[in-house]
Amino acid sequence: MNGKVRLGEFLQTRRSQLQPEDLGIPGYGERRRVPGLRREELASLAGVSVSYYTRLEQGQSLNASPQVLDAIARALRLEAAERLHLHDLARSSATGSGRVRRPAPEWVTEATGQLLEALVHVPAIVTGRRSDVLAWNRLGHALFAGHVDPDAPNRPADRPNMARLVFLDAHTRDLYADWPAKARAVVGNLRLVAGRHPDDTALHALVGELSAKSLDFASMWADHRVTACAVATYEMRHPLVGPLTVTQQTLSQGLGPDQGQNIVVATTEADSPARTTLALLDQVTPQHDPARRGIRAGSG
């Protein structure tokens, strides 16, 4: 799917999700044939002509200025991550697809490996651009995917993928008390990444696989919601130690050889039952050293 189609789909979907009454647009009791705002209403709110906005939705108008995109974003009530996504889609639409290639396997640097080792009592995993698990420490493996081979991050072809686990793995689905919230966060983040990397064939293959195998994923993907998953609190139901509430924080690696990678850590409140439960998981987890798993020797 090219950038023009992705931009048009995003605009159409988000326009359909806005209710006229929420924006102070009088309906006069009329019955609408389609949900959401009409194109002329959205164009009026954004301060652009109806013909121009229509061409933008239909992929017939290129090189929309940042000012126009910001005006449309305000009219659509987009949040910061969604606004960034809109600009990414517009840039992809204007420049067209570049040379499509399958990216080389990602690896974690020695410096990131040292960080995982330092977080010995904090569950931590390193994920790549497409949510592949590139490395994890002992507690990270035990909390998020203890049923998976701990050495799997060493083998690029066998690496666990967090999106696949959330949607296709029964263990991971049961792990989250509010699974839909976790699932929506995963889809929203994938949307954001897909907008930044429109020519990533491996990412598009992952989206296609999940859409074909999970009706939940297909429905959420069609919603065009975008989420930057920086901090979120989840109640987890661990099969070994029981329920615990954790705060998952995603630390993005923006520069250097780790660019596009994220470090995901799970923390608990001091003196809370969850802190005690996590300490119990630490005690019952075998004392091996997977912190360096997924880290190529000499990388960095």
How many Cα atoms sit within 13 Å of 268 on the Cβ side?
A: 20
CA–CA separation, 217 and 233 (whole Å): 21
Report CA Rg, the chain: 22
Q: Are 253 and 262 a contacting pair, CB within 8 Å?
A: yes
Q: What is the pLDDT along the chain (300 residues), one digit of tens a residue?
A: 555 567 888 888 888 888 877 777 765 556 667 778 888 888 998 899 998 898 888 877 667 888 989 999 998 888 888 888 888 888 877 665 555 556 677 888 888 888 888 998 999 999 998 999 999 999 999 999 999 999 999 888 899 999 999 999 999 999 999 999 999 999 999 988 888 888 888 898 999 999 999 999 999 998 888 877 789 999 999 999 999 999 999 988 755 555 678 999 999 999 999 999 999 999 998 876 544 455 554 444
CA–CA separation, 56 and 63 (whole Å): 10
The full 3-state SS of 186-216, as one line of letters, equals HHHHHHHHHHHCCCEHHHHHHHHHHHHHCHH
Question: Which 8-state DSSP code applies to residue 230?
Answer: S
Helices 39-46 and 50-57 pack at an angle, to 10 degrees, of: 110
Tokens of 244: 């615990």
Residues in CB range of 126: below 8 A, 6 or more apart = 108, 112, 116, 133, 134, 135, 136, 261, 262, 263, 264, 294
Write b or e for each residue in 140-169: b if 16 or more Cβ atoms lie within 10 A of its Cβ, otherwise e.
Answer: bbbbbbbebebebbbeeeebbbbbbbbbeb
Residues in the chain: 300
Distance of CA 282 to the CA centre of its chain: 28
Question: Which 8-state DSSP code applies to residue 101?
Answer: B
CA–CA separation, 106 and 296 (whole Å): 10
Q: Are 36 and 16 a contacting pair, CB within 8 Å?
A: yes
Q: Is 176 helix (H, G, I), strand (E, B) or coil?
A: strand
Residue labelled with tokens 């696989």:
209
How many Cα atoms sit within 13 Å of 54 on the Cβ side?
A: 7
**Integer distance in angstroms from the first to the last C-alpha of the chain?**
35
Output the pTM of the full model. 0.77
Residues in CB range of 69: below 8 A, 6 or more apart = 83, 86, 87, 90
